[in-house]
Structure 1
Amino acid sequence: MSDYFDRDADKTYTRVYKAQTPDILQKFSEFDAAVFQAEGREIPLKYRELIALAVGITTQCVYCIDAHSQNAVKAGATEGELAEAAWVATAIRAGGGYAHGRLAFKLSGASEPHAHG
């Protein structure tokens, strides 16, 4: 997906949202602004941006990674914090594979559940 990424040109396609669904775009923009407002939230902005970065890495959204890594740094995040956010995302993604692997064993019918104890 990142092969198609063009930070500047891709933003021009927002015109479709503006033309076709301006009411939804406005509500989404207001929602996003509320989530990432600098003050008045329990979780400081730097940590919300690091959370967003980890989610972006997990979902592999290059736009989220681009925006939230920069926003995290603007909010005071260090390279070490960016690295740890990336590792958190990696652990969650790998953990999901591990857990869903167990589900595959269950759904395949080839494995019997083991009694706890």
Structure 2
Amino acid sequence: MSEYYDRHEDATYTKVYKDTTPDVLAAFGAFDQAVFAAEGRAIPLKYRELIALAVGLSTQCVYCIDAHSRKAVAAGADETELAETAWVATAIRAGGAYAHGRLAFKLAGAHTH
């Protein structure tokens, strides 16, 4: 999917949302601004951006990876923190596959006593 990614060109397609569902777009924008407000949250912005980056890495959303890696750095994250965030996302995805592997055994009836 990333071969289709163009940070600047893709943003122009926001016009479709503006033209067709402006109320939903406005609500989403307000929600996103509240979640990533610089002040007034218990979790500091840098950590919220690193969380967002980890989710983006887990979902493999190139838009999220682009935006939140840059925003995390702007909020004070360094390369080591970005690396550790990537490793956390990796561990969670791997753990999910491990846990769901057990489910595969169960569903396949492969568990022997």
TM-score norm. by structure 2 comes to 0.98
Gaps of 5+ in 1: none
Q: How many residues align?
A: 113
Alignment of 1:50-61 (within 5 A): 50-61=50-61
Cross-structure match for 1:62: 62
Amino acid at match of 1:22: P
Amino acid at match of 1:45: L
Residue 73 of structure 1 pairs with residue 73 of structure 2: yes
Structure 1 consecutive aligned stretches of length 4 or more whose deviation exceeds 2 Å: none
Cross-structure match for 1:86: 86
SS of residue paired to 1:111: coil
Deviation of 1:109 (Å): 1.4
Cross-structure match for 1:21: 21
TM-score norm. by structure 1 comes to 0.95
Cross-structure match for 1:10: 10
Cross-structure match for 2:110: 110
Seq. identity, %? 75
Amino acid at match of 2:40: G
Deviations 1:56-99 (A, max 9, x none): 00000000000000000000000000000000000000000000
Alignment of 1:24-63 (within 5 A): 24-63=24-63
Tell me the distance in 2 between the aligned counterparts of 1:58 and 1:90. 7
Deviation of 1:111 (Å): 1.5
Tell me the distance in 1 between the aligned counterparts of 2:37 and 2:104. 41
Tell me the distance in 2 between the aligned counterparts of 1:86 and 1:13. 29
